[in-house]
Amino acid sequence: MIKINRNSEFSYRANYGKHRRDVRLTGEAFFEISADASKPFIADAGNVKVKVVGTSFNVITKNAESAVEVYVKTGKVMLSDDSGSQSMILDPGFVGTMDSKISGKTINNNPNYMSWNTGLLIYSGQKLDIVFNDLKRDYNMDIIADDPGILEYLWTSSIDNLSHDKIIRLICGSFNLSYTKDGDVYHLAKK
């Protein structure tokens, strides 16, 4: 199973699976790959190859640092650069980052890392600035605080597959805010 995030491109050859399981990704996608040791699954993510036998993982090729980022949900994943000079093995729960110069891995502590795929955002005291950035990424919502102080308010609640209007009403009701909508952009103001 492959779930592709919006504004992403995914391609594979017509004979996929016959001798090889190679794909190409630009953007972000989540993969659940069946085990087949004779034909490893290889995702070409630009300058990095993601090789797996059977696992579930997320790949991001477009981010602020221009590095490829892989999060492993289950199984193990091997990342390697095009030259073969860098490689790393990722276990479940780890995020590996690699570009042409550096590589590294860390444990994922972000409960919202996969929210673009699940629709579930969980917060326990995060600033609305962070919440609005997540809503932009995961729900394609543009929210502007007309008063910058609004961005400092702390949000402690979850958002689980709600409509844009329900999300805005929930935020406004929680902080006694009002909103206007200009096209697809929500403007929040203090009452």
Q: Are 134 and 115 in contact (CB under 8 A)?
A: yes
Same domain, 32 and 122: no
Query: How many domains is the chain partitioned into structurally?
Result: 2
Contacts of residue 171, defined as CB under 8 A and 6 or more positions apart, other chains included, come to: 128, 131, 155, 177, 188
Phi and psi at residue 19, to the nearest 5°: -125, -25
Domain that holds residue 87: 2-107
Same domain, 13 and 97: yes
What is the chain's mean pLDDT, rounded? 90
Range of lowest pLDDT (92-101, 112-121, 132-141): 92-101
Q: Are 111 and 126 in contact (CB under 8 A)?
A: no
**Does residue 144 register a pLDDT over 90?**
yes
Which of 141, 151, 122 is closest to 186 using CA atoms?
141
Given 64, 82, 107, which residue is the final one in a domain? 107
Residue 44: CATH number of its domain: 2.60.120.1440
Same domain, 50 and 96: yes
Which whole number is the average pLDDT over 87-94?
A: 92
Same domain, 85 and 103: yes
pTM equals 0.77
Given 83, 107, 131, which residue is the final one in a domain? 107
